[in-house]
């Protein structure tokens, strides 16, 4: 009967690598994992997967709860998370919450009932009271007491946008975003730091009259009509930083409708990276998030749950994404 040595020999790898694949206990390159799995099948070395999972108390599934996977950046993040976790032997279960807390809780229950091994949580809801630091949850873009998180360096993103608009000669600044720190709702996401970095940097150079527009949290697909109302009375601004490229899109459309030229009259910088492969017009100037690095960090964090007692928080660098709107 075939044993682990036969598998290693036939696949041309070490026993330790085969063991990592079988026990699902660490990172193995996709190509190598697929090769080993193929050999295991070919020579019929197939330990009972379910029995093994039961012993390990693992079923090798990670749930990813996010508001909406058709949001361009979230969709990219999902893609890389699935690709990265596959290398660790995990399959990814997707939950588009559409911002419904109740739906998020269904997946949290699956975690509590051991139907999934870990949960990646991307939410704007008031879910904190249902969390517990003993659960294997990784939060993206949001801090919860005792829950490890991964986020882009949103603060530096705000600083970078402010510096760029100043460098381009802007005088009257505006921030548009859907956070609401210090206001009615108590939900504070990491994303708020985009605004804080932007305003603090401008403050440090003596600029305090930044027009600050906030709209209800979680409203990713803001319409040009809504933006119309936001801009009313502020048509003198010449440097706008928005919380996402989707919002920048609506802002630019609305400015142009009002006879403003972008970037000649008003410069607009978005957030996420300005990627969109069927954009037939200008490319949005943007602060880029790197979904591949974020996915890598999430993969490491989930792996750490099984190897370490503490999982580190991780802040991922942002970058300036050249475009045609600033």
126: burial class by Cβ within 10 Å (0-12, 13-18, 19+)? exposed
The reply to whether 276 sits near a copy of itself by the rule CB under 8 A is: yes
Nearest-CA neighbor of 21 among 3, 5, 6, 40?
Answer: 40
Q: Please identify, using beta-carbon distances, which residue of 13 and 159 lies nearer to a copy of itself.
A: 13
The reply to whether 68 sits near a copy of itself by the rule CB under 8 A is: yes
Which one of residues 42, 109, 236, 322 is an interface residue with a copy of itself (CB under 8 A)?
A: 109
The reply to whether 113 sits near a copy of itself by the rule CB under 8 A is: yes
Edge-to-edge strands, sheet with 267-272: 211-214, 173-177, 239-242, 267-272, 286-288, 319-321
Q: Please identify, using beta-carbon distances, which residue of 53 and 172 lies nearer to a copy of itself.
A: 53
The reply to whether 96 sits near a copy of itself by the rule CB under 8 A is: yes
Look at the chain and count its residues: 326
Which one of residues 3, 5, 47, 94 is an interface residue with a copy of itself (CB under 8 A)?
A: 94
Name the one range near a copy of itself by CB under 8 A: 32-40, 120-128, 139-147, 201-209. 32-40
Q: Please identify, using beta-carbon distances, which residue of 15 and 106 lies nearer to a copy of itself.
A: 106
The reply to whether 23 sits near a copy of itself by the rule CB under 8 A is: no
Q: Which residue has the tokens 């801009």?
A: 231
Which residues neighbour 114 within 8 Å (Cβ) at sequence distance 6 or greater?
57, 59
The reply to whether 51 sits near a copy of itself by the rule CB under 8 A is: no
Q: Please identify, using beta-carbon distances, which residue of 148 and 323 lies nearer to a copy of itself.
A: 323
The reply to whether 52 sits near a copy of itself by the rule CB under 8 A is: no
The reply to whether 211 sits near a copy of itself by the rule CB under 8 A is: no
Nearest-CA neighbor of 96 among 62, 144, 64, 126?
Answer: 64
Q: Taking a C-beta distance cutoff of 8 angstroms, is the pair 111, 121 a contact? A: no
Name the one range near a copy of itself by CB under 8 A: 35-43, 120-128, 171-179, 303-311. 35-43
The reply to whether 99 sits near a copy of itself by the rule CB under 8 A is: no
x/- binding map, residues 116-145, to a copy of itself, per CB under 8 A? Answer: ------------------------------
- How many whole angstroms separate alpha carbon 86 and alpha carbon 88? 5
Q: Taking a C-beta distance cutoff of 8 angstroms, is the pair 27, 56 a contact? A: no
- How many whole angstroms separate alpha carbon 116 and alpha carbon 108? 9
């Amino acid at each position: 009967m075939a044993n682990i040595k036969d598998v290693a020999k036939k696949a041309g790898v070490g026993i330790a690598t085969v063991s990592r694949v079988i026990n699902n206990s660490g990172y193995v390159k996709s190509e190598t994992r697929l090769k080993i799995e193929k050999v295991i099948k070919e020579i019929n070395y197939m330990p009972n997967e379910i029995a093994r999972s039961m012993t390990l108390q693992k079923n090798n599934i990670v749930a990813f709860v996010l508001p909406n996977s058709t949001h361009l950046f979230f969709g990219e993040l999902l893609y890389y998370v699935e690709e990265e976790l596959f290398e660790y032997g995990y399959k990814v279960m997707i939950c588009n919450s559409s911002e419904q807390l109740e739906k998020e809780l269904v997946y949290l229950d699956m975690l509590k009932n051991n139907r999934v091994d870990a949960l990646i949580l991307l939410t704007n809801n008031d879910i904190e009271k249902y969390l517990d630091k003993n659960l294997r949850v990784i939060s993206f873009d949001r801090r919860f007491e005792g829950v490890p998180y991964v986020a882009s360096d949103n603060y530096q993103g705000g600083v970078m946008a402010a510096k760029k608009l100043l460098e381009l000669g802007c005088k009257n600044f505006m921030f548009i975003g859907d956070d609401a720190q210090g206001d009615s709702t108590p939900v504070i996401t990491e994303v708020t730091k985009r605004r804080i970095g932007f305003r603090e940097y401008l403050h440090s150079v003596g600029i305090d009259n930044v027009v600050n527009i906030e709209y209800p949290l979680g409203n990713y697909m803001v319409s040009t009509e809504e933006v119309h109302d936001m801009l009313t009375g502020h048509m003198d601004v010449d440097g706008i930083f928005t919380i996402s490229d989707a919002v920048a899109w609506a802002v630019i459309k609305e400015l142009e409708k009002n006879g403003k030229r972008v970037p000649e009259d008003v410069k607009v910088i978005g957030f996420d990276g300005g990627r969109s492969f069927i954009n037939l017009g200008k490319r949005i100037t943007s602060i880029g998030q790197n979904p591949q690095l974020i996915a890598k960090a999430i993969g490491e964090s989930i792996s750490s749950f099984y190897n370490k007692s503490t999982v580190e928080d991780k802040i991922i660098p942002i970058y300036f994404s050249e475009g045609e709107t600033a």
